[in-house]
Amino acid sequence: MSTELPKAYNAADVEDKIYKLWEESGFFDPDKLPGDRKDIFSVALPPPNATGTLHLGHALEYSLQDAVVRYHRMRGEKTLWIPGTDHAAIATNTKVEKILIKEEGRNRHDIGREAFVKKVEDFVADSRGTMQKQIRQMGASLDWSREAFTMDAERNLAVRTAFKRMYDAGLIYRGYRVINWDPKGQTSVSDDEVQHRPEKGVLYTFRYSKDFPVEIATTRPETKVGDSAVAVHPDDKRYQKYIGKEYGVEFAGTRLKVKIVADPGVDPEFGTGAVGVTPMHSMTDWEIADRQNIPAEDRHQVINEYARMTEIAGPLVAGKKTKEARDIIVQWLKENDLLSKEEPTELNISVAERSGGVIEPLPKLQWFITVNKEFTIPRSSIKGIEGGSETTLKDVMRAAVQNGQIRIMPDRFEKIYFHWINNLRDWNISRQLWYGHRIPVWYRGKEIYCGIDAPKDSGWEQDPDTLDTWFSSALWTFSTLGWPDENSPDLQMYHPTTFMNPGYEILFFWVARMILMSGFLLGEIPFKTVYLHGILRDAQGRKFSKSLDNGVDPIDVIKQYGTDALRMSVVVGIGPGNDGNFDLNKVKAYKHFGNKLWNIARFVLMSVPEDSSGIMNSQLTPGDERSLAELGTVLASMTSHMDQYRFYLAAEEIYHYVWHTFADKIVEESKARLASEDPAAKASAQRMLLEILSTCLKLLHPFMPFITEELYSKLPISGKTMLLIEKWPV
């Protein structure tokens, strides 16, 4: 054999070249794949946030998806994998504003909306370029001709159309109520974007004034200047005589009208069994106030958007930060001999997940998607939901998974999903951010107009708010396929998509919302299988974090060990839904494996003639027949693993076979015969080696695409194609 391979495999020499070859072949585009492909396999890449660069989590995600995509392409399916980027409104806003403050000492308000959005767009353009390059380095076989961005013109049209249709169906409404306000990010956030952090607090027990009949308990005395009622349990004997009575009280420099009401939501065992109701600063209290018909004029906003006390809060605390106000009020209670107890307590503080700001519940006029309201679903292929029937978005989301049309892997996340739906409240979709999809609603005096485009006549002003970034992400499986053009060939061909591979941390943010949107807008499920992956931790199992400085740049790993080694290291041994540890030693081990494979191929290539047509027809010895049969069982098992999305087992199986059966046993055993004088024995060995090597390269290709493609190109077999589109053996 004349082809000279270097002694060791050097990933850097081949990866860029191979990727270019693939990309130029056009085979990432399913329309350009050869042969008659009837079965469809389509995947939408979870679009990475346009906030900068890829991290190891992306490496894990893309290794899994590329393996499954390559496998199905080799199975002869019409395989589409669509790339894209998410504008990640809140994350990008935050990041760019941070840079702005650092570099220019100005915030977004200093430079104005237009200039700020321009800055964000420039930043995003930059990030997207970097990330596209990095995704290519991962070897991801994405159809770049269909690349999408959640903020481009096509996706913007999809967003406006979706909003309009939901608005017309009565599923989107504007409402004034208590929402999660992030004083740091200066925007509202949805319930899912609020995280809880345990903190030590104090439970204060006191009464508003000397002549007020009941004591209440709270951890936030500063909000009590905004109280409108005291709620007790309807069956609580202690307070029966006060229920329905109204008191005027002088409390910490304010005058309050406090009605004592009975509400079943109150726990008689907690504190004094009586709760001060602050409608404007607690969602629960707002709901109690609604149930008790507390009129709007008796609800007082005492905290503003900057987490400072308002004028209404009274002269004692007005203008103060909430924490200062708390101290002042506690002091006032003590001075007036109203405080009866101070007990240390554990409390959960609410924090905005992006900015880290402490959430301040505030009443605001916001846009919501209602999840409990009945509507007529125009059409539906979701089992259990009849087209034309009355249903709710919650029911749609539930049905899609309950009836098995969507499978969530691992199964246990289905329970978590249902639990989330059961407790779901209306989704606050408006954000007071500048970068994002502008809400397609216009106002003129008391008139309101919702439309895909601005109203033609003059005097209208568009709603200043933008949409929650997950609103556009929720459309992703079909907004990337030409929707809202229902006749789009891509949409008809590739939707519902086959496979979806997000991290479990965005099950609610994204997976559930995709099911919601696809259900309402298309009457379809967005995908058939959701394979949730876990988080990658460091070698000791710790989370990657800036403070630990244990971050690893996947591009550095690729430079040092090669992409194939990185890919194997994040796939093998990590089951669905489980966190994995990232260990450079593991990457190194798979680099060694690549080299092993390289040298197996070198040996085989040196051992067979340049023209293999003669040996490929030679008679196999019974021993060689057995070896091929044994490979057949490995193949069958691997195929089954791949079909069931058990990549972690498939990859390990072929790894083990190549090294410890093919190299250690079969190749070793063949050496004597290759050197022998018996031409039949020699030819049989040559044929067997070449066949096994060829098959192994195919089986490994989904996991280690670069080295296998390179080696496959050297094999002296006729009729072969690029390994990328070679047939998976059967």
Partner RNA sequence: GGGCGGUUAGCUCAGUUGGUAGAGCGUCUCAUUGACGUUGAGAAGGUCAUAGGUUCGAAUCCUAUACCGCCCACCA
Site residues for RNA, 187-226, by CB under 7 A, read 191-192, 195-196, 217-220
Task: Quote the CA–CA distance of 479 and 485 in Å, as a whole number.
Answer: 9
Closest contact distance (angstroms) between CB of 672 and RNA is 11
Of these, 270, 290, 378, 632, which contacts RNA (CB under 7 A)?
A: 270
* Helix H or strand E encompassing 557: helix 554-561
User: Does residue number 550 form part of the binding site for RNA (CB under 7 A)?
Assistant: no
Of these, 574, 631, 635, 715, which contacts RNA (CB under 7 A)?
A: 574
Which residue, 63 or 134, has its beta carbon nearer to RNA?
63
Total binding residues toward RNA, as defined by CB under 7 A? 76
Residue 558, burial from CB neighbour count under 10 angstroms (0-12, 13-18, 19+): buried
Task: Quote the CA–CA distance of 192 and 169 in Å, as a whole number.
Answer: 24
Which residue, 142 or 638, has its beta carbon nearer to RNA?
638
- Map residues 246-265 to x or -, x wherever contact with RNA holds by CB under 7 A: -------------------x
The letter for the amino acid at 232 is V
Task: Quote the CA–CA distance of 285 and 228 in Å, as a whole number.
Answer: 10
Beta-carbon count within 10 A of 337 CB: 9
Ranges within 394-423 binding RNA (CB under 7 A) = 412, 415-416, 419-420, 423
What are the structure tokens assigned to 191, written together? 């319930």
Ranges within 80-139 binding RNA (CB under 7 A) = none
Tokens 């004028």 belong to which residue? 311
Residue 600, burial from CB neighbour count under 10 angstroms (0-12, 13-18, 19+): buried
Ranges within 487-546 binding RNA (CB under 7 A) = 505, 508, 537, 539-541
Ranges within 334-353 binding RNA (CB under 7 A) = 347-348
Phi, psi (deg, nearest 5) at residue 27: -75, -10
Which residue, 10 or 619, has its beta carbon nearer to RNA?
10
User: At a CB cut-off of 8 Å and minimum separation 6, what does 425 contact?
Assistant: 191, 371
Phi, psi (deg, nearest 5) at residue 612: -90, 0
Closest contact distance (angstroms) between CB of 440 and RNA is 28
Under 8 Å between Cβ of 447 and 569: no
Task: Quote the CA–CA distance of 646 and 628 in Å, as a whole number.
Answer: 24
Q: Across-strand partners of 197?
A: 349
Q: How far is CA 695 from CA 141, 219, 714, 728, in A?
A: 21, 67, 14, 8
Q: How far is CA 689 from CA 326, 383, 560, 679, 695, in A?
A: 79, 51, 31, 15, 10
Ranges within 459-478 binding RNA (CB under 7 A) = none
Which residue, 74 or 409, has its beta carbon nearer to RNA?
409
User: Does residue number 284 form part of the binding site for RNA (CB under 7 A)?
Assistant: yes
Closest contact distance (angstroms) between CB of 273 and RNA is 5
What are the structure tokens assigned to 230, written together? 């005291």
What are the structure tokens assigned to 408, written together? 């969530």
Which residue, 23 or 579, has its beta carbon nearer to RNA?
579
Using DSSP's 3-state secondary structure scheme, residue 74 falls into helix
Which residue, 318 or 416, has its beta carbon nearer to RNA?
416
Closest contact distance (angstroms) between CB of 536 and RNA is 11
Which residue, 176 or 270, has its beta carbon nearer to RNA?
270
Ranges within 627-656 binding RNA (CB under 7 A) = 640-641, 644, 646, 648-649, 652, 656
User: Does residue number 325 form part of the binding site for RNA (CB under 7 A)?
Assistant: no
Closest contact distance (angstroms) between CB of 306 and RNA is 21
Which residue, 267 or 335, has its beta carbon nearer to RNA?
267
Of these, 169, 616, 663, 722, which contacts RNA (CB under 7 A)?
A: 663
Closest contact distance (angstroms) between CB of 353 and RNA is 9
- Map residues 3-32 to x or -, x wherever contact with RNA holds by CB under 7 A: ----xxx-----------------------
Closest contact distance (angstroms) between CB of 585 and RNA is 4
Of these, 671, 672, 720, 721, which contacts RNA (CB under 7 A)?
A: 671
Half-sphere exposure of 607 (CA within 13 A, CB side): 26
Closest contact distance (angstroms) between CB of 428 and RNA is 13
Burial 266-296 (b: 16+ CB within 10 A, else e): bebeebbbbbbbbbbbbebbbbbbeebebee
* Helix H or strand E encompassing 206: strand 194-206
Of these, 147, 583, 621, 714, which contacts RNA (CB under 7 A)?
A: 583
Task: Quote the CA–CA distance of 545 and 5 in Å, as a whole number.
Answer: 42
Closest contact distance (angstroms) between CB of 578 and RNA is 4
Under 8 Å between Cβ of 293 and 261: no
- Map residues 586-625 to x or -, x wherever contact with RNA holds by CB under 7 A: x-xx-xx-xxx--xx-xx--x-------------------
What are the structure tokens assigned to 677, written together? 């004088």
What are the structure tokens assigned to 617, written together? 């027809």
Which residue, 16 or 505, has its beta carbon nearer to RNA?
505
Closest contact distance (angstroms) between CB of 89 and RNA is 20
Closest contact distance (angstroms) between CB of 387 and RNA is 31
DSSP 141-199: ---GGG-EETTSHHHHHHHHHHHHHHHHTT-EEEEEEEEEEETTTTEEE-GGGEEEEEE
Closest contact distance (angstroms) between CB of 443 and RNA is 31
Closest contact distance (angstroms) between CB of 380 and RNA is 28
